[in-house]
Structure 1
Amino acid sequence: MTTDPSYESTLRELATDRGVLRYHEAGEGPPLLLLHGSGPGVTGWRNYRGNLGFFAAHFRCLILEFPGFGVSDSAGGHPMVTAEQSVTDFLDGLGLDRVHIVGNSMGGIVATRFAISHPERVDRLVTIGGIGKNVFSPGPGEGIRLLMDFTENPTREALVRWLHSMVYDPALVTEELIEERWTQATAPDTLASAREMYGRTAFAARSTAASDTAPYWAMLHKVQAPTLLTWGRDDRVSPVDMALLPMRTLPRGELHVFPDCGHWVMIEQKAAFESAVLAFLTRASTRESTREGSGR
């Protein structure tokens, strides 16, 4: 899967009733769970490999590989549903009662839903694009439409068009990136899983079904954890106007927008992202600061 020597050194396995969950672990300290996004050839390792060394100096980092994306065992069912269940299975399996969570795109939605359902288990929450609802821009965004194009007709050209929609700087779309994404994205099981999410028929059916229940973005007022929304100003997958609703309705939410940056904030604005997230995760809580400032 990768020629990176650090890949095997951090890779772990956890047996669960729904199959083996694979993950990467590094560092010591408070547990920090990192959840990846969706899209052709995605893995948790590819989302966060560049950030792991930085955060491992401060936290026990755990990069979970969701079922259905070619690394952990497939659990059957819709990938979004199995992703949510896998978070509970994973934390229970490791005996972790409470964690910080960083979620990229789909991983941010999964993390947010988990924080709504299990408020006692989330200390602080960081999202990278993805959550919220289009306010001014059309939905789905350009990147999602290109993702559906690839899923319906998986060609290298379609993959390259989608990859370019993910970034501000086209130089990030290297031949190495294209090749590693292409290899995994076209594996039969991975492609079948992707079609459950982004095939046009499946996408339309999910949107219709969602209209019968309250969407997660309408329940953001239930998120109790302090939340940092991170966003690329030039995101063409989840345009930045999507941040307006969560920014207003999250009880303890704040927003950091990065310039010259697309959907992959943790990659394209690596140093600035790491600095902002570390400051957020390690600073004293507002309530503690208020007590100290009042002399109590």
Structure 2
Amino acid sequence: MPTLKINNLDTYYEISGEGETVVLLHNGFSCGMMWEEVAPMLVEGGFRVLVYDRRGYGRSDGGADFADHYVSMTFRRESMAALAELLDHLKIDRVHLVGQCEGGVVGADYAVDYPDRVRSLVAASTLCHSLISMEEFNRRKLPPTFDDLDPKLQKKYLRWHGLKRGRIFYDICARGGGCYGQTGDFDLRPTLSRVTVPTLVMYPDRGYFFDVEQGVAFYRHLSKGELLVFPKCGHNIFEHYPQLYARQVMAFINRH
């Protein structure tokens, strides 16, 4: 299992294929396994694909203080910094970033801090701004504990994060909205206005978590933005339309 030490913690990653590098950034509840259908299609399309698990997700160590780290004010910043360190370790210079939900936040933050190292950005189902805190948002949208999850989702969590950690991981993530729950209303718009690379916003037309208007707002705050709305689609576009997801990512990258 390939790992690198970042902040003295093992970070799991996989690289496959040849060509320009595409980094796949998982959402805030799963891990790199979510890309199992999409990643091979990008490899077949002529790209080198890097998938990794952020700190405490999936096969990457979280450390004994992960629960505190998750709700800390530095969580978001450290997520982006860890990506930069991973790419430095792997000696990868310029990349295309593809982020699903919270992965889109990591991608946008990285594109702002390292514009010369990003060729393009794709953000799918990523929240633009919220009128309520993420803590309140989670209370409205998420089952309060692992035991309240649908059995199918329970199985996914245990597969993603392991039999020992899956239950605990969900309860940590669902409890307080992470670092976003500590800062009041979430607003990505100031960051988006500083993104200078070509950016594709992909959004579902009937997502459970975020309305399609969030995708429009995201797009409106980009200087080089494009917007693609998926019809009859829920939050996880990569599950509803994996082939179309991959094709649209590749078409966008090839345009830029």
TM bin, normalised by shorter chain, reads: 0.7 to 0.9
1:159-170, aligned counterparts within 5 Å? Answer: 159-160=149-150
Letter in 1 for 2:177: F
My pick for the range that moved more, 51-60 or 202-211, is 202-211
- Cα deviation, residue 217, structure 1: 2.2
Structure 1 unaligned blocks of 5 or more? 1-10, 162-174, 286-296
1:55 and 2:55 correspond? no
Report the counterpart of residue 166 of structure 1 in structure 2: none
Answer whether contact 2:24 2:97 (CA < 8 A) is retained: yes
Structure 2 unaligned blocks of 5 or more? none
CA spacing shift, 1:73–1:265, aligned 2, 3 Å: same
Could you list the per-position Cα deviations for residues 158-185 of structure 1 after superposition, in whole angstroms to 9, with x for gaps in the alignment?
A: 2229xxxxxxxxxxxxx5x642324556
Specify which structure has the higher proportion of helix. Answer: 1
Equivalent position to 1:31, from 5, 9, 21 = 21
Report the counterpart of residue 146 of structure 2 in structure 1: 154
In structure 2, distance between residues paired with 1:205 and 1:278? 32
Equivalent position to 1:251, from 199, 205, 223 = 223
- Cα deviation, residue 97, structure 1: 1.8
CA spacing shift, 1:205–1:184, aligned 2, 3 Å: closer
Mark the structure with the bigger radius of gyration.
Answer: 1
Q: What RMSD, in angstroms, separates the aligned Cα atoms of the two structures?
A: 2.9
- Cα deviation, residue 240, structure 1: 1.1
Answer whether contact 2:54 2:60 (CA < 8 A) is retained: yes
- Cα deviation, residue 228, structure 1: 0.4
In structure 1, distance between residues paired with 2:76 and 2:146? 21
Letter in 1 for 2:143: D
1:83-162, aligned counterparts within 5 Å? Answer: 83-134=79-130, 144-145=138-139, 148-150=142-144, 153-155=145-147, 158-160=148-150
What TM-score results when the alignment is normalised by the length of structure 2? 0.84
Aligned residue pair count: 247
Letter in 1 for 2:82: S
What TM-score results when the alignment is normalised by the length of structure 1? 0.73
In structure 2, distance between residues paired with 1:270 and 1:143? 27
Could you list the per-position Cα deviations for residues 221-261 of structure 1 after superposition, in whole angstroms to 9, with x for gaps in the alignment?
A: 11011000111111111221111222111000111011111
Answer whether contact 2:76 2:179 (CA < 8 A) is retained: no
Answer whether contact 1:134 1:241 (CA < 8 A) is retained: no
1:72 and 2:56 correspond? no
Letter in 1 for 2:89: G
CA spacing shift, 1:81–1:74, aligned 2, 3 Å: farther
1:227 and 2:199 correspond? yes
Answer whether contact 2:38 2:238 (CA < 8 A) is retained: yes
Specify which structure has the higher proportion of strand. Answer: 2
Letter in 1 for 2:61: D
Letter in 2 for 1:209: T
In structure 1, distance between residues paired with 2:177 and 2:134? 10
My pick for the range that moved more, 77-86 or 56-65, is 77-86
CA spacing shift, 1:208–1:90, aligned 2, 3 Å: closer
CA spacing shift, 1:215–1:98, aligned 2, 3 Å: same
Report the counterpart of residue 4 of structure 1 in structure 2: none
Equivalent position to 2:9, from 11, 19, 25 = 19
- Cα deviation, residue 17, structure 1: 3.7
Answer whether contact 2:41 2:243 (CA < 8 A) is retained: no
